[in-house]
Amino acid sequence: MKLSVRIPGACAVVLLGAAASSQAATPIACNALLNQTIEGATITIEWDETTDHPGHYRISFDDAVFADFAVVQAASAQVGADVVITKDASNNITLKNVLLASSLVLGIGTFLFAMRWDASDPTRETRRSDVAFWLHLLAAPLIVHPVFELLGLTRGAATTLDAVLVIGLYIGLGLVALAIDRRALLVSALAYVLFALNSLFQTYGAVELSVALTALVIGSALLLLSAFWASARRAVVTPLPNGLRGKLPVLDRTKVAAAA
């Protein structure tokens, strides 16, 4: 944003922000400006303004700025995970994490679509189960990556709180994987858990052994889960309501096949 200010002779402060924000204006001493600017001159001041918001909001543009939505689209560009709408060199709006949010919505939609195919073949005897497998394989990274990216895990070393949160999310994903009898979510999130645990061990002094300890902990956990997958799945699925349990893959396909 730009604001042209005409400096009076007895200037004491320059007030910025009042013309563009409902917040209180910030006084800044302008003696230095007056020393370099003759009385009555016009200077141009620029500042960046960030608006925090708890959820989503709608942006309205004046017709004099953007005539219609097609012009807004033409002025938009994808920059990383953000979308930047540019009016000119000095005025733009950055919509943060648009790509991540879109990927997450697409991933959830794909996951629900995969569950629809899975529900149509609970015994996994037809090609519908194969279709569901590939859909789950597509949905998993679309769900997992945006979630961990929005947590900021890919922007630096993980803190203790980050590591605990990542492990908690991984356990949650593991429960979902057990319920639907698919491992794609666990595989997609594995790299983030390895990174978080490695950072956690380094934080508490095990720098040289961090990789070995991480491999030992994760490897042992996954090995035990694989060995007791059927028992763990039964423990997760059995308490679920009958209506939901009926849409999930059967617990023991061997008995179903024998009965048929």
Q: Dig out the tokens for 235 from the structure.
A: 């423990």
pLDDT per position as a tens digit, 203-223: 777 667 777 888 888 888 888
* Locus of tokens 């709408």: 85
What CA–CA distance (Å, rounded) separates 245 from 260?
21
pLDDT per position as a tens digit, 32-91: 544 555 566 666 666 666 666 555 556 677 777 777 777 777 777 776 667 778 777 777
Buried b / exposed e over 149-182, threshold 16 CB at 10 Å, is bebebeeeebeeebbebbeebbeebbeebbbbbb
Whether residue 185 contacts residue 176, with contact meaning beta carbons closer than 8 Å, is answered with yes
C-alpha of 14 from chain center: 40
**Annotated domain spans of the chain:** 1-49, 99-259
Can you give the pTM of this predicted structure?
Answer: 0.63
pLDDT per position as a tens digit, 82-136: 777 877 777 777 776 677 788 889 999 999 999 999 988 888 888 999 999 999 9
**What pLDDT does residue 233 have?**
92
Over 50: is that where the pLDDT of 25 sits? no
* Ramachandran category for residue 186: left, alpha or beta (phi over 0 → left; psi -120 to 50 → alpha): alpha
